[in-house]
């Protein structure tokens, strides 16, 4: 699994909420044809609109590229070729807060994103 944020600030690898938030996000929008071709076809939604999402036995959704257990330890199997929306989502930003809240994770202890992502 790859590092996604400075662990002394926020360890994305212990969360994964942004990758298990909703099945229509992340959607492809700014990627070139070459960038899209680098993502394994098995991980792309059938309608080619974004990443494929899976539903587990408990009825919870997650990006097909997400590995591990959400809220415990996760990683991205396509981190180096992930979609732009995934690259743009930063720990502690509004999208991070929205995803964490939707999954019932705490947001009050998150640092402000502009403290470390300037």
Q: Is residue 112 part of a domain?
A: no
**104 vs 15, 70, 73, CA distance in Å?**
11, 12, 16
Strand, helix or coil for residue 54 = strand
Q: Is residue 4 part of a domain?
A: no
- The confidence band for 9, taking pLDDT boundaries of 50, 70 and 90, is low
- The confidence band for 47, taking pLDDT boundaries of 50, 70 and 90, is very high
The pTM score is 0.83
Q: Is the pLDDT of residue 1 over 50?
A: no
Phi, psi of 43 (to 5 degrees): -105, 5
Q: Is residue 115 part of a domain?
A: no
Q: Is residue 7 part of a domain?
A: no
Domain carrying residue 33: 12-107
- What integer pLDDT is reported at residue 18 of this predicted model? 93
- The confidence band for 3, taking pLDDT boundaries of 50, 70 and 90, is very low
Q: How many domains does the chain have?
A: 1
Of 33, 39, 18, the residue nearest 83 (C-alpha) = 39
Phi, psi of 100 (to 5 degrees): -60, -45
Mean pLDDT of the region 28-54? 94
Q: Is residue 60 part of a domain?
A: yes
Q: Is residue 55 part of a domain?
A: yes
- What integer pLDDT is reported at residue 2 of this predicted model? 41
- What integer pLDDT is reported at residue 114 of this predicted model? 62
Q: Is residue 32 part of a domain?
A: yes
Of 16, 21, 19, the residue nearest 43 (C-alpha) = 19
Tell me the C-alpha distance between 13 and 26, whole Å: 18
């Amino acid at each position: 699994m790859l590092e996604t944020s400075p662990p002394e600030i926020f360890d994305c690898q212990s969360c994964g909420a942004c990758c298990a938030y909703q099945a229509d996000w992340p959607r492809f929008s700014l990627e070139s044809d070459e960038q899209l071709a680098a993502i394994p076809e098995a991980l792309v939604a059938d309608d080619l609109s974004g990443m494929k999402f899976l539903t587990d036995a408990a009825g919870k959704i997650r990006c097909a590229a997400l590995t591990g257990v959400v809220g415990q330890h996760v990683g991205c199997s396509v981190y180096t070729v992930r979609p732009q929306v995934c690259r743009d989502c930063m720990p502690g930003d509004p999208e991070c807060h929205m995803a964490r809240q939707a999954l019932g994770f705490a947001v009050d202890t998150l640092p402000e994103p502009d403290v470390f992502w300037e």
